[in-house]
Structure 1
Amino acid sequence: MKTIILIPARYASTRYPGKPLVMLTGKDGVPKSLIQRSWEAAKGVVDVASVYVCTDDDRIKDAAEAFGASVIMTAESCANGTERCADALQHLSESADLYINLQGDAPLTPAWFVEDLIRAMKADPSVQMATPVLRCDAQTHANFVEDRLNGRVGGTTAVFDKNLNALYFSKEVIPYTGKTFGEGDTIPVFHHVGVYGYREQALKSYSSWPVGPLETWEGLEQLRFLENGMPIRCVEVDGRGRVFWELNNPVDVARIEQVI
């Protein structure tokens, strides 16, 4: 079963303009752009046929090609990463059974998150769309709560049913607990990992649907699937002690640099 990873990246981010080209310096002292670190994360995934950066911006295109990435230029009208991945299908010179959207702001995504997602979709051909979820540790939960208390939109949380099909995704911390957790506590809050797996028909269907009210209010692209009755399979992944966090706001640069 052939898999292609698509990395959607746009320069004109509402919350953080120019985000893909923000430089992140790891413990080795080497500065690399956010998009390069996300591409390197994608290249670390096993059994993937190709990896493409998908953008509408020449600055991102030039930077990506400079570090060796293959680039697909997509329409400026793409409002989110899923729309950009769907648009990229029209320009791909190859086809696949699975398309993985590894968003360009998630350089801390471990390869096994994506590999577990691919494995789950291969195991159940009925699943048209899937996404990983990670049970929060105490520090991640505290980061979520801190962001909301300070009026920042940080990561996304997910709730799902007993069959692991998503019930809802939110930028609020759900489910509400009203508790402060410590290390070792089992926390009932799941961090939605910004990776999606689609079969081709799911991507094509997405492009044909109008934007719904939930997607508009939350600003979460995946809610369009739920609003149109397409189930999203949540795949629980194990952090294995690794910290996972996306770059959503300038304050996240320091959080990510501490890890890399």
Structure 2
Amino acid sequence: MAVLLVIPARHASSRFPGKPLVPLRGAGGEARSLIRRSWEAAQAVSGIDRVVVATEDERIRDHCRAFGAEVVMTTTAPRNGTERCAETLDRLGGRWEFVVNLQGDAPLTPPWFVEALLAALRRDAGEAAMATPVLRMEGAMLSAFREDRRAGRVGGTTAVFDAKGRALYFSKEVIPFTARPFAEGEATPVWHHVGVYAYRPAALEAYRRRDPGPLEEQEGLEQLRFLEMGETVLCVPVEARGRPFWEVNNPEDVPRLEAMLGALGQP
């Protein structure tokens, strides 16, 4: 059975309006939009049969079609990327083994992150509704998270999970609490949740029929709805392999991403 990869993108954002179209300059100084760089990242993932951008915005649609992406127009009803993926699944139809949500603000997502999710769900044999990657923070990343919180910036997410990898909670706070400082490359007990998801289609449909619960509404984290529904969410540990990783959550993240693109030598 085939795998569908959806890149949900909306123009309206309370923290960063127009975020998908913001230009990011790479190593050669070329500016490419955030959504285009995310689409290019999707092309590098093996085992994907179809890649589409899902949006309700004509500006994003026209921009994506201009660089060759397939676009599915959705309604304005979806409240988050997971609901937009569910609506996209309805519109496309077909029999899909899994649906991947590669969010349009994470162009540095390595392909092996997504490939690890698909492998984990196939090993799971049907228990988990979805899987999502987690990356153990080293000292520098944890310091960046803490600095964002001190400055009142909320973006990156942390995760805690049990010995079998089943998620216990996700938060925009830094959890678990740890007070001590860590050296730049030192491993910490904190896991960064990477905003990529692989769903079973049935779980995606069930999600869409449920309203957000109090935890999802409080944290603003779409994956918490699965936990509030009593579903199993797999946290799949992945390794950066020396590659820098960050997401664009706030305008302040743009220069950070551009510096990382430059360090990777990406045009």
CA distance in 1, matches of 2:230, 2:9: 27
* Code of the aligned partner of 1:50: R
Matched residues, percent identical? 57
Distance across 2 between alignment mates of 1:75 and 1:104: 18
Match of 1:151 in 2: 152
Query: When the two structures are aligned, how many residues end up with a matched partner?
Result: 260
Give the letter for the 1:29 counterpart: G
* In structure 2, C-alpha distance between the alignment counterparts of 1:93 and 1:84, rounded to whole Å: 14
Does the CA-based 8 Å contact 2:167-2:233 persist in structure 1?
yes
Letter in 1 for 2:102: L
2:79 equivalent to 1:79? yes
- Contact kept in structure 1, 2:41 and 2:107, CA below 8 Å: yes
d(CA) in 1 for partners of 2:259, 2:94: 38
> Do the aligned residues in 1 keep the contact of 2:133 with 2:236 (CA within 8 Å)?
yes
Residues 5-44 of structure 1 mapped to structure 2, 5 A cutoff: 5-44=5-44
Q: Which moved more, 1:199-208 or 1:86-95?
A: 86-95
The SS at the match of 1:244 is: coil
Give the aligned partner of residue 65 of structure 1: 65
| CA distance in 2 between partners of 1:180 and 1:95 (Å) | 49
Query: Which residue is equivalent to 2:125?
Result: 125
Moved over 3 A (4+): none
Whole-Å separation in 1 of the counterparts to 2:155 and 2:146:
9
Q: Output the CA distance in 2 between the equivalents of 1:94 and 1:257.
A: 38
**CA deviation digits over 1:88-126, x for unaligned, max 9?**
111115431000000000001001101111111112222
Deviations along 1:124-170, whole A, 9 cap, x unmatched? 22222110000012221111000000000020000000110000000
2-side partners of 1:220 and 1:70: how far apart? 27
Aligned-partner Cα distance in 2 for 1:37–1:210: 32
- 2:100 maps to which residue? 100
One-letter identity of the residue aligned with 2:6 = L
Q: Is the 2:140–2:185 Cα contact (8 Å) retained in structure 1? A: no
Distance 1:139 1:27 in 2: 23
Give the aligned partner of residue 163 of structure 1. 164
In structure 2, the partner of 1:45 is 45
User: Could you say which residue in structure 2 is the equivalent of 1:236?
Assistant: 237
Mean CA deviation greater in 123-132 or 191-200? 123-132
Matched residue SS, 1:250? coil
How far residue 187 of structure 1 moved from its aligned partner, in angstroms, is 0.3
Map 1:241-256 onto structure 2 (within 5 A).
Answer: 241-256=242-257
8 Å Cα contact 2:165-2:236 kept in structure 1: yes
1:25 and 1:153 map into 2 onto residues whose CA distance is 24
User: Unaligned stretches of 5+ in structure 2?
Assistant: 262-267
The C-alpha deviation readout for 1:182-226, integer Å capped at 9, x for no partner, is: 034220000000100101111000011111100000000000000
Where structure 1 has 5 or more consecutive residues not aligned to the other structure, the ranges are none
User: Residues of 1 paired with 2:243 and 2:119: CA distance?
Assistant: 21
SS at match of 2:133: strand
Note the alpha carbon deviations across 1:68-107, whole angstroms, 9 max, x for none: 0000011101110000000111111543100000000000
| Partners of 1:256 and 1:20 in 2: CA distance | 14
What one-letter code is carried by the residue in structure 2 that aligns with 1:75? T
C-alpha root-mean-square deviation of aligned residues, in Å? 0.9
SS in 1 for 2:48: coil
